[in-house]
A and B are shown apart, each in its own frame.
Chain A
Amino acid sequence: MSDAPMLSIKGLCKKFGSTEVLKSFDMDIQAGEKLSIIGPSGSGKSTFLRILMTLEKPDAGSIEIEGERLWHMKRNGVDVPADRRHLKKMRSEIGMVFQHFNLFPHMTALGNVSVAPRHVQKMSRAEAEDRGRQLLERVGLGDKLDAYPAQLSGGQKQRVGIARALALQPKVMLFDEVTSALDPELVGEVLNVLRELAHETDMTMILVTHEMRFAQEISDRVAFMDHGKVLEIDTPEKIFSDPKHPRTREFLNAVLES
Protein backbone atom coordinates (compact mmCIF):
# COMPACT_ATOMS: atom_id res chain seq x y z
CA MET A 1 0.00 0.00 0.00
CA SER A 2 1.80 3.10 -1.21
CA ASP A 3 1.45 6.56 0.24
CA ALA A 4 0.60 8.18 -3.04
CA PRO A 5 -3.14 8.77 -3.36
CA MET A 6 -5.19 6.57 -5.68
CA LEU A 7 -6.99 9.59 -7.08
CA SER A 8 -5.55 13.07 -7.14
CA ILE A 9 -7.77 15.89 -8.33
CA LYS A 10 -6.47 19.40 -8.67
CA GLY A 11 -8.21 22.59 -9.73
CA LEU A 12 -11.08 20.88 -11.51
CA CYS A 13 -13.41 23.37 -13.18
CA LYS A 14 -16.59 22.75 -15.16
CA LYS A 15 -19.14 25.13 -16.59
CA PHE A 16 -22.50 24.32 -18.12
CA GLY A 17 -23.44 27.29 -20.22
CA SER A 18 -22.96 30.22 -17.89
CA THR A 19 -23.31 28.22 -14.70
CA GLU A 20 -20.07 27.28 -12.95
CA VAL A 21 -20.75 23.85 -11.54
CA LEU A 22 -17.27 22.99 -10.32
CA LYS A 23 -14.99 25.74 -9.08
CA SER A 24 -11.36 24.75 -8.69
CA PHE A 25 -12.22 21.47 -7.07
CA ASP A 26 -9.38 19.71 -5.20
CA MET A 27 -9.33 16.32 -3.56
CA ASP A 28 -7.04 13.41 -2.81
CA ILE A 29 -8.51 9.96 -2.35
CA GLN A 30 -6.51 7.06 -0.97
CA ALA A 31 -6.57 3.53 -2.34
CA GLY A 32 -9.23 1.46 -0.65
CA GLU A 33 -10.88 4.53 0.85
CA LYS A 34 -14.65 4.71 1.19
CA LEU A 35 -15.59 8.33 0.59
CA SER A 36 -19.08 9.77 0.78
CA ILE A 37 -19.92 13.11 -0.76
CA ILE A 38 -22.92 14.98 0.58
CA GLY A 39 -24.37 18.37 -0.19
CA PRO A 40 -27.33 20.22 -1.69
CA SER A 41 -28.41 19.61 -5.28
CA GLY A 42 -26.53 21.66 -7.80
CA SER A 43 -23.39 21.53 -5.68
CA GLY A 44 -21.51 19.66 -8.38
CA LYS A 45 -21.31 16.25 -6.68
CA SER A 46 -22.69 14.27 -9.61
CA THR A 47 -20.75 16.34 -12.11
CA PHE A 48 -17.56 15.40 -10.31
CA LEU A 49 -18.38 11.70 -10.59
CA ARG A 50 -19.38 12.05 -14.22
CA ILE A 51 -16.08 13.74 -15.08
CA LEU A 52 -14.25 10.89 -13.38
CA MET A 53 -16.22 8.44 -15.45
CA THR A 54 -15.37 10.44 -18.59
CA LEU A 55 -19.02 11.22 -19.23
CA GLU A 56 -18.22 14.94 -19.12
CA LYS A 57 -15.06 16.75 -20.08
CA PRO A 58 -13.57 19.18 -17.55
CA ASP A 59 -12.86 22.75 -18.60
CA ALA A 60 -9.68 22.94 -16.54
CA GLY A 61 -7.78 21.05 -13.91
CA SER A 62 -6.22 17.63 -13.71
CA ILE A 63 -7.20 14.21 -12.49
CA GLU A 64 -4.60 11.56 -11.78
CA ILE A 65 -5.37 7.92 -11.24
CA GLU A 66 -2.46 6.07 -9.64
CA GLY A 67 -0.22 8.84 -10.83
CA GLU A 68 -1.36 8.76 -14.43
CA ARG A 69 -3.41 11.62 -15.83
CA LEU A 70 -6.92 10.81 -16.98
CA TRP A 71 -7.67 13.57 -19.43
CA HIS A 72 -4.15 14.09 -20.71
CA MET A 73 -1.47 11.87 -22.07
CA LYS A 74 2.16 12.14 -23.00
CA ARG A 75 3.14 12.24 -26.63
CA ASN A 76 6.86 12.72 -27.26
CA GLY A 77 7.25 13.99 -23.73
CA VAL A 78 4.59 16.67 -24.15
CA ASP A 79 1.20 16.73 -22.44
CA VAL A 80 -1.60 16.57 -24.96
CA PRO A 81 -5.35 16.01 -24.54
CA ALA A 82 -6.11 12.32 -24.16
CA ASP A 83 -7.14 10.45 -27.26
CA ARG A 84 -9.81 7.77 -27.30
CA ARG A 85 -7.39 4.93 -26.70
CA HIS A 86 -5.91 6.56 -23.61
CA LEU A 87 -9.34 7.28 -22.18
CA LYS A 88 -10.39 3.71 -22.80
CA LYS A 89 -7.32 2.42 -21.00
CA MET A 90 -7.89 4.72 -18.02
CA ARG A 91 -11.61 3.97 -17.96
CA SER A 92 -10.98 0.31 -17.33
CA GLU A 93 -10.05 1.18 -13.75
CA ILE A 94 -13.29 3.00 -13.03
CA GLY A 95 -16.83 1.73 -12.72
CA MET A 96 -20.10 3.52 -12.09
CA VAL A 97 -23.56 2.73 -10.80
CA PHE A 98 -26.28 5.12 -11.93
CA GLN A 99 -29.22 6.70 -10.16
CA HIS A 100 -31.63 5.52 -12.85
CA PHE A 101 -29.98 2.11 -13.28
CA ASN A 102 -29.54 2.37 -17.07
CA LEU A 103 -29.87 -1.38 -17.44
CA PHE A 104 -30.04 -2.76 -20.97
CA PRO A 105 -33.74 -3.62 -21.39
CA HIS A 106 -33.16 -6.14 -24.14
CA MET A 107 -30.87 -8.38 -22.06
CA THR A 108 -31.51 -10.57 -19.07
CA ALA A 109 -29.88 -9.82 -15.73
CA LEU A 110 -27.15 -12.29 -16.57
CA GLY A 111 -26.84 -10.77 -20.01
CA ASN A 112 -26.47 -7.29 -18.56
CA VAL A 113 -23.73 -8.39 -16.21
CA SER A 114 -21.80 -10.56 -18.65
CA VAL A 115 -21.96 -8.44 -21.80
CA ALA A 116 -19.03 -6.17 -20.91
CA PRO A 117 -16.64 -8.88 -19.67
CA ARG A 118 -17.40 -10.73 -22.85
CA HIS A 119 -16.94 -7.93 -25.38
CA VAL A 120 -14.69 -5.47 -23.62
CA GLN A 121 -12.44 -7.82 -21.69
CA LYS A 122 -12.73 -10.44 -24.42
CA MET A 123 -13.68 -13.26 -22.10
CA SER A 124 -15.29 -16.33 -23.54
CA ARG A 125 -19.05 -16.51 -23.19
CA ALA A 126 -18.83 -19.28 -20.61
CA GLU A 127 -16.31 -17.43 -18.47
CA ALA A 128 -18.25 -14.19 -18.67
CA GLU A 129 -21.47 -15.90 -17.68
CA ASP A 130 -19.72 -17.67 -14.82
CA ARG A 131 -18.50 -14.39 -13.44
CA GLY A 132 -21.93 -12.91 -14.00
CA ARG A 133 -23.58 -15.75 -12.11
CA GLN A 134 -21.23 -15.34 -9.15
CA LEU A 135 -21.79 -11.62 -8.96
CA LEU A 136 -25.55 -11.88 -9.20
CA GLU A 137 -25.55 -14.46 -6.45
CA ARG A 138 -23.41 -12.17 -4.38
CA VAL A 139 -25.97 -9.37 -4.66
CA GLY A 140 -28.73 -11.82 -3.83
CA LEU A 141 -30.19 -12.28 -7.30
CA GLY A 142 -29.03 -15.81 -8.03
CA ASP A 143 -32.59 -16.79 -8.89
CA LYS A 144 -33.14 -13.91 -11.30
CA LEU A 145 -30.47 -14.67 -13.83
CA ASP A 146 -32.92 -14.98 -16.71
CA ALA A 147 -35.20 -12.14 -15.73
CA TYR A 148 -35.44 -9.06 -17.92
CA PRO A 149 -35.19 -5.60 -16.36
CA ALA A 150 -38.90 -5.00 -17.00
CA GLN A 151 -39.62 -7.89 -14.65
CA LEU A 152 -37.48 -6.60 -11.79
CA SER A 153 -38.26 -4.21 -8.97
CA GLY A 154 -36.26 -1.00 -8.58
CA GLY A 155 -34.10 -2.45 -5.84
CA GLN A 156 -33.41 -5.55 -7.90
CA LYS A 157 -32.56 -3.45 -10.93
CA GLN A 158 -30.06 -1.44 -8.96
CA ARG A 159 -28.44 -4.58 -7.58
CA VAL A 160 -28.04 -5.81 -11.14
CA GLY A 161 -26.52 -2.44 -11.92
CA ILE A 162 -24.01 -2.90 -9.11
CA ALA A 163 -23.16 -6.42 -10.23
CA ARG A 164 -22.74 -5.18 -13.79
CA ALA A 165 -20.28 -2.50 -12.73
CA LEU A 166 -18.38 -4.94 -10.51
CA ALA A 167 -18.03 -7.41 -13.35
CA LEU A 168 -15.20 -5.41 -14.88
CA GLN A 169 -13.33 -5.45 -11.56
CA PRO A 170 -12.52 -1.75 -11.48
CA LYS A 171 -10.21 -0.30 -8.87
CA VAL A 172 -12.50 2.68 -8.27
CA MET A 173 -16.29 2.43 -8.02
CA LEU A 174 -18.51 5.47 -8.32
CA PHE A 175 -22.04 5.47 -6.92
CA ASP A 176 -24.19 8.35 -8.14
CA GLU A 177 -27.16 8.67 -5.76
CA VAL A 178 -27.92 5.02 -6.34
CA THR A 179 -30.86 4.88 -3.95
CA SER A 180 -32.47 8.22 -4.75
CA ALA A 181 -34.78 6.82 -7.40
CA LEU A 182 -35.99 3.91 -5.29
CA ASP A 183 -39.15 3.48 -3.29
CA PRO A 184 -38.22 3.81 0.41
CA GLU A 185 -38.86 0.15 1.17
CA LEU A 186 -36.46 -0.96 -1.56
CA VAL A 187 -33.57 1.21 -0.41
CA GLY A 188 -32.46 -1.19 2.31
CA GLU A 189 -31.64 -4.11 0.02
CA VAL A 190 -29.33 -1.91 -2.05
CA LEU A 191 -27.66 -0.38 1.02
CA ASN A 192 -27.01 -3.91 2.29
CA VAL A 193 -25.09 -4.73 -0.85
CA LEU A 194 -23.14 -1.49 -0.60
CA ARG A 195 -22.40 -2.15 3.05
CA GLU A 196 -21.02 -5.56 2.23
CA LEU A 197 -18.88 -4.12 -0.53
CA ALA A 198 -17.54 -1.47 1.82
CA HIS A 199 -16.65 -3.95 4.55
CA GLU A 200 -15.39 -6.85 2.50
CA THR A 201 -13.50 -5.35 -0.41
CA ASP A 202 -10.58 -2.97 -0.65
CA MET A 203 -12.02 -1.27 -3.68
CA THR A 204 -11.94 2.51 -3.61
CA MET A 205 -15.56 3.65 -3.34
CA ILE A 206 -16.89 7.15 -3.89
CA LEU A 207 -20.56 7.57 -3.06
CA VAL A 208 -22.69 10.60 -3.73
CA THR A 209 -25.61 10.06 -1.42
CA HIS A 210 -28.41 11.55 0.64
CA GLU A 211 -28.44 8.58 3.00
CA MET A 212 -26.69 10.32 5.92
CA ARG A 213 -26.87 7.50 8.40
CA PHE A 214 -25.48 5.09 5.87
CA ALA A 215 -22.70 7.50 4.94
CA GLN A 216 -21.82 7.87 8.57
CA GLU A 217 -21.72 4.11 9.03
CA ILE A 218 -19.50 2.96 6.19
CA SER A 219 -17.34 5.91 5.20
CA ASP A 220 -13.72 6.53 6.01
CA ARG A 221 -14.27 10.18 5.19
CA VAL A 222 -17.23 12.36 4.35
CA ALA A 223 -16.95 15.42 2.11
CA PHE A 224 -19.45 18.26 2.09
CA MET A 225 -19.76 20.09 -1.21
CA ASP A 226 -21.55 23.28 -2.02
CA HIS A 227 -21.48 25.50 -5.10
CA GLY A 228 -18.78 23.51 -6.82
CA LYS A 229 -16.27 23.40 -3.97
CA VAL A 230 -15.44 21.06 -1.12
CA LEU A 231 -16.20 23.10 1.98
CA GLU A 232 -15.31 20.45 4.51
CA ILE A 233 -13.89 16.94 4.45
CA ASP A 234 -13.28 14.80 7.53
CA THR A 235 -14.14 11.58 9.30
CA PRO A 236 -17.86 10.85 9.66
CA GLU A 237 -17.78 11.44 13.40
CA LYS A 238 -16.31 14.90 13.03
CA ILE A 239 -18.53 15.93 10.15
CA PHE A 240 -21.81 14.75 11.60
CA SER A 241 -21.34 15.60 15.26
CA ASP A 242 -19.15 18.66 15.04
CA PRO A 243 -19.16 20.29 11.61
CA LYS A 244 -16.80 23.24 11.36
CA HIS A 245 -18.11 25.11 8.37
CA PRO A 246 -21.32 27.11 8.98
CA ARG A 247 -22.76 25.96 5.68
CA THR A 248 -22.16 22.34 6.60
CA ARG A 249 -23.92 22.92 9.87
CA GLU A 250 -26.82 24.59 8.11
CA PHE A 251 -27.16 21.76 5.61
CA LEU A 252 -26.97 18.98 8.19
CA ASN A 253 -29.48 20.69 10.43
CA ALA A 254 -31.96 20.97 7.58
CA VAL A 255 -31.39 17.43 6.38
CA LEU A 256 -31.20 15.60 9.65
CA GLU A 257 -34.32 17.37 10.86
CA SER A 258 -36.45 15.61 8.27
Chain B
Amino acid sequence: MSIPTHLVAPILEGLWVTLQLTLGGAVVACVLAWVAGLGKLSATRWVRWPANVYVEVFRGTSALVQLFWFFYGLPLFGVRLSPMTAGILVLGLNIGAYGAELVRGSIQSVSKGQYEASTALNFSPLQRLWLIIVPQAIISILPPAGNLLIELLKSTALVSLITLGDLTFKGMILRAETLQTAQVFGMLLVIYFVIAQCLVFLVRRIEVRLKRGWHLEGTS
Protein backbone atom coordinates (compact mmCIF):
# COMPACT_ATOMS: atom_id res chain seq x y z
CA MET B 1 0.00 0.00 0.00
CA SER B 2 1.39 3.36 -0.91
CA ILE B 3 0.77 6.08 1.62
CA PRO B 4 1.73 9.48 0.37
CA THR B 5 4.60 10.43 2.66
CA HIS B 6 2.99 13.71 3.61
CA LEU B 7 0.22 11.71 5.27
CA VAL B 8 2.41 9.54 7.49
CA ALA B 9 2.96 12.43 9.88
CA PRO B 10 -0.76 13.02 10.49
CA ILE B 11 -1.23 9.32 11.20
CA LEU B 12 1.53 9.50 13.77
CA GLU B 13 -0.04 12.62 15.24
CA GLY B 14 -3.32 10.78 15.44
CA LEU B 15 -1.59 7.85 17.11
CA TRP B 16 -0.06 10.19 19.66
CA VAL B 17 -3.47 11.69 20.47
CA THR B 18 -4.95 8.22 20.87
CA LEU B 19 -2.17 7.22 23.24
CA GLN B 20 -2.60 10.39 25.27
CA LEU B 21 -6.31 9.73 25.57
CA THR B 22 -5.68 6.15 26.60
CA LEU B 23 -3.12 7.09 29.22
CA GLY B 24 -5.00 10.10 30.55
CA GLY B 25 -8.28 8.24 30.57
CA ALA B 26 -6.66 5.31 32.34
CA VAL B 27 -5.36 7.52 35.13
CA VAL B 28 -8.73 9.21 35.62
CA ALA B 29 -10.53 5.88 35.44
CA CYS B 30 -8.17 4.31 37.95
CA VAL B 31 -8.67 7.06 40.51
CA LEU B 32 -12.43 7.11 40.06
CA ALA B 33 -12.70 3.33 40.15
CA TRP B 34 -10.99 3.14 43.53
CA VAL B 35 -12.82 6.10 45.00
CA ALA B 36 -16.23 4.93 43.80
CA GLY B 37 -15.52 1.25 44.40
CA LEU B 38 -14.52 1.88 47.99
CA GLY B 39 -17.31 4.39 48.29
CA LYS B 40 -19.84 1.75 47.37
CA LEU B 41 -18.62 -0.30 50.31
CA SER B 42 -18.73 2.55 52.77
CA ALA B 43 -20.81 2.30 55.90
CA THR B 44 -22.14 5.84 55.56
CA ARG B 45 -24.92 6.34 53.05
CA TRP B 46 -23.72 9.86 52.26
CA VAL B 47 -20.73 8.24 50.63
CA ARG B 48 -22.50 5.18 49.27
CA TRP B 49 -25.30 6.96 47.45
CA PRO B 50 -23.19 9.38 45.38
CA ALA B 51 -20.89 6.49 44.49
CA ASN B 52 -23.85 4.38 43.37
CA VAL B 53 -25.38 7.25 41.42
CA TYR B 54 -22.10 7.92 39.65
CA VAL B 55 -21.66 4.28 38.71
CA GLU B 56 -25.25 3.79 37.53
CA VAL B 57 -25.33 6.98 35.48
CA PHE B 58 -22.03 6.48 33.71
CA ARG B 59 -22.49 2.78 33.19
CA GLY B 60 -26.10 3.13 32.15
CA THR B 61 -25.66 5.76 29.48
CA SER B 62 -23.76 5.50 26.26
CA ALA B 63 -20.16 6.73 26.19
CA LEU B 64 -20.73 8.61 22.98
CA VAL B 65 -23.80 10.35 24.38
CA GLN B 66 -21.77 11.30 27.46
CA LEU B 67 -19.07 12.68 25.19
CA PHE B 68 -21.53 14.79 23.25
CA TRP B 69 -23.21 15.98 26.41
CA PHE B 70 -19.94 17.12 27.93
CA PHE B 71 -18.79 18.76 24.74
CA TYR B 72 -22.01 20.32 23.49
CA GLY B 73 -24.14 20.47 26.60
CA LEU B 74 -21.77 21.73 29.27
CA PRO B 75 -21.03 25.05 27.54
CA LEU B 76 -24.55 26.09 28.47
CA PHE B 77 -23.48 25.79 32.09
CA GLY B 78 -20.52 27.99 31.35
CA VAL B 79 -18.05 25.11 31.24
CA ARG B 80 -16.23 24.97 27.94
CA LEU B 81 -13.86 22.04 27.68
CA SER B 82 -11.28 21.45 25.00
CA PRO B 83 -11.94 18.29 22.99
CA MET B 84 -8.93 16.63 24.59
CA THR B 85 -10.03 17.45 28.13
CA ALA B 86 -13.59 16.39 27.40
CA GLY B 87 -12.28 13.19 25.89
CA ILE B 88 -10.01 12.24 28.79
CA LEU B 89 -12.62 13.24 31.33
CA VAL B 90 -15.53 11.39 29.77
CA LEU B 91 -13.56 8.27 28.94
CA GLY B 92 -12.19 8.27 32.47
CA LEU B 93 -15.64 8.75 33.99
CA ASN B 94 -17.14 6.06 31.80
CA ILE B 95 -14.50 3.39 32.27
CA GLY B 96 -14.08 4.38 35.90
CA ALA B 97 -17.70 3.47 36.53
CA TYR B 98 -17.12 -0.05 35.23
CA GLY B 99 -13.88 -0.15 37.16
CA ALA B 100 -15.71 0.69 40.36
CA GLU B 101 -17.61 -2.57 40.11
CA LEU B 102 -14.33 -4.43 39.64
CA VAL B 103 -12.81 -2.75 42.66
CA ARG B 104 -15.83 -3.48 44.78
CA GLY B 105 -15.83 -7.13 43.75
CA SER B 106 -12.16 -7.68 44.31
CA ILE B 107 -12.15 -6.00 47.70
CA GLN B 108 -15.05 -8.18 48.75
CA SER B 109 -13.16 -11.23 47.55
CA VAL B 110 -10.41 -10.71 50.12
CA SER B 111 -11.04 -13.35 52.75
CA LYS B 112 -12.71 -12.42 56.02
CA GLY B 113 -9.78 -13.88 57.93
CA GLN B 114 -7.63 -11.02 56.74
CA TYR B 115 -10.04 -8.56 58.31
CA GLU B 116 -10.02 -10.55 61.54
CA ALA B 117 -6.24 -10.72 61.69
CA SER B 118 -6.15 -6.97 61.08
CA THR B 119 -8.58 -6.38 63.94
CA ALA B 120 -6.57 -8.65 66.21
CA LEU B 121 -3.47 -6.63 65.43
CA ASN B 122 -5.35 -3.43 66.17
CA PHE B 123 -4.99 -1.76 62.77
CA SER B 124 -7.14 1.30 62.13
CA PRO B 125 -9.62 0.84 59.27
CA LEU B 126 -7.47 3.01 57.03
CA GLN B 127 -4.32 1.07 57.85
CA ARG B 128 -6.13 -2.17 57.22
CA LEU B 129 -7.33 -0.96 53.83
CA TRP B 130 -3.98 0.37 52.70
CA LEU B 131 -1.61 -2.23 54.13
CA ILE B 132 -3.62 -5.42 53.95
CA ILE B 133 -6.74 -5.33 51.79
CA VAL B 134 -5.81 -3.25 48.76
CA PRO B 135 -2.53 -5.06 47.99
CA GLN B 136 -4.45 -8.34 47.93
CA ALA B 137 -7.36 -6.91 45.93
CA ILE B 138 -4.97 -5.75 43.24
CA ILE B 139 -4.09 -9.29 42.25
CA SER B 140 -7.67 -10.22 41.44
CA ILE B 141 -8.32 -6.91 39.75
CA LEU B 142 -5.57 -7.13 37.19
CA PRO B 143 -6.97 -9.52 34.58
CA PRO B 144 -10.38 -7.81 34.23
CA ALA B 145 -8.68 -4.42 34.51
CA GLY B 146 -6.66 -5.37 31.48
CA ASN B 147 -9.90 -5.95 29.59
CA LEU B 148 -11.20 -2.58 30.70
CA LEU B 149 -8.04 -0.96 29.45
CA ILE B 150 -8.75 -2.44 26.02
CA GLU B 151 -12.30 -1.07 26.21
CA LEU B 152 -10.81 2.32 26.99
CA LEU B 153 -8.54 2.09 23.98
CA LYS B 154 -11.45 1.22 21.75
CA SER B 155 -13.53 4.05 23.17
CA THR B 156 -10.89 6.61 22.25
CA ALA B 157 -12.05 6.25 18.65
CA LEU B 158 -15.27 8.02 19.64
CA VAL B 159 -13.51 11.34 20.09
CA SER B 160 -13.13 11.51 16.33
CA LEU B 161 -16.82 12.39 16.34
CA ILE B 162 -16.19 15.54 18.38
CA THR B 163 -13.49 16.50 15.92
CA LEU B 164 -10.52 15.54 18.04
CA GLY B 165 -7.63 14.50 15.80
CA ASP B 166 -7.09 10.97 17.01
CA LEU B 167 -6.10 7.95 14.98
CA THR B 168 -9.62 7.34 13.67
CA PHE B 169 -10.09 11.00 12.75
CA LYS B 170 -6.83 11.08 10.83
CA GLY B 171 -7.77 7.79 9.25
CA MET B 172 -10.98 9.27 7.90
CA ILE B 173 -9.02 12.13 6.40
CA LEU B 174 -6.53 9.73 4.90
CA ARG B 175 -9.32 7.72 3.35
CA ALA B 176 -10.88 10.82 1.88
CA GLU B 177 -7.58 11.81 0.33
CA THR B 178 -6.44 8.46 -1.00
CA LEU B 179 -9.78 6.70 -1.46
CA GLN B 180 -7.96 3.50 -0.47
CA THR B 181 -10.71 2.58 1.96
CA ALA B 182 -9.82 -1.02 2.67
CA GLN B 183 -6.14 -0.35 3.20
CA VAL B 184 -6.62 2.70 5.39
CA PHE B 185 -9.22 1.21 7.68
CA GLY B 186 -7.43 -2.11 7.64
CA MET B 187 -4.26 -0.34 8.76
CA LEU B 188 -6.16 1.48 11.49
CA LEU B 189 -7.55 -1.80 12.80
CA VAL B 190 -4.10 -3.35 12.80
CA ILE B 191 -2.60 -0.42 14.70
CA TYR B 192 -5.33 -0.60 17.33
CA PHE B 193 -4.86 -4.33 17.56
CA VAL B 194 -1.15 -3.97 18.12
CA ILE B 195 -1.63 -1.36 20.83
CA ALA B 196 -4.24 -3.60 22.47
CA GLN B 197 -1.88 -6.55 22.51
CA CYS B 198 0.87 -4.40 24.02
CA LEU B 199 -1.46 -3.26 26.80
CA VAL B 200 -2.58 -6.81 27.52
CA PHE B 201 1.04 -7.95 27.61
CA LEU B 202 1.95 -5.18 30.03
CA VAL B 203 -0.87 -5.96 32.41
CA ARG B 204 -0.10 -9.65 32.30
CA ARG B 205 3.54 -8.97 33.06
CA ILE B 206 2.58 -6.96 36.14
CA GLU B 207 0.27 -9.73 37.27
CA VAL B 208 2.94 -12.39 36.84
CA ARG B 209 5.47 -10.22 38.63
CA LEU B 210 3.23 -9.78 41.64
CA LYS B 211 2.21 -13.42 41.78
CA ARG B 212 5.78 -14.58 41.45
CA GLY B 213 6.93 -12.09 44.08
CA TRP B 214 4.43 -13.42 46.58
CA HIS B 215 5.01 -16.99 45.40
CA LEU B 216 1.38 -17.54 44.57
CA GLU B 217 0.55 -20.34 42.17
CA GLY B 218 -1.08 -19.96 38.81
CA THR B 219 -1.34 -17.15 36.37
CA SER B 220 -4.66 -16.57 34.65
Residues of A within 8 A of B (CB): 53-55, 88, 91-92, 94-96, 98, 100-106, 115-116, 119-120, 148, 150-151, 164-165, 168
Contact = CB atoms under 8 A, between A and B. Distances in A.
Given A105-B214, A106-B136, A148-B215, A92 B116 contact: no
A11 to B, nearest CB: 24
A95 B132 contact: no
B130 to A, nearest CB: 9
Nearest to A106: B135
20 contacts: A53-B119, A55-B119, A88-B122, A88-B124, A91-B120, A91-B122, A92-B122, A96-B120, A102-B114, A104-B117, A104-B136, A106-B214, A116-B121, A116-B123, A119-B127, A120-B123, A150-B214, A150-B215, A150-B216, A165-B120
Given A115-B121, A150-B216, A168-B122, 16 more contacts: A54-B119, A95-B120, A96-B120, A98-B116, A100-B113, A102-B113, A102-B114, A104-B114, A104-B132, A106-B135, A116-B122, A119-B131, A120-B121, A120-B123, A165-B120, A165-B121
Interface of B is mostly: helix
Contacts of A120: 121-123, 127
A116 B119 CA distance: 11
A202 B131 CA distance: 32
A98 B216 contact: no
Interface of B: 111, 113-114, 116-117, 119-124, 127, 131-132, 135-136, 214-217
A207 to B, nearest CB: 15
Contacts, number: 63
Given A100-B113, A102-B114, A150-B214, A115 B119 contact: no
Contact of B123 (A94, A119, A150): A119
B135 to A, nearest CB: 5
B120 A105 contact: no
Contacts of B216: 105, 150
A185 B135 CA distance: 33
A103 B116 CA distance: 10
A55 B122 contact: no
Contact of A150 (B111, B114, B217): B217
What are the nearest 5 A-B pairs in CB distance? Answer: A102-B117, A102-B113, A116-B121, A150-B215, A96-B120
Contacts of A55: 116, 119-120
A102 B131 CA distance: 14
B121 A168 contact: yes
A198 B2 CA distance: 84
A91 B117 CA distance: 12
A129 to B, nearest CB: 15
Contacts of A116: 121-123
A96 to B, nearest CB: 4
Contacts of A106: 135-136, 214
Contacts of B127: 119-120
Contacts of B123: 116, 119-120
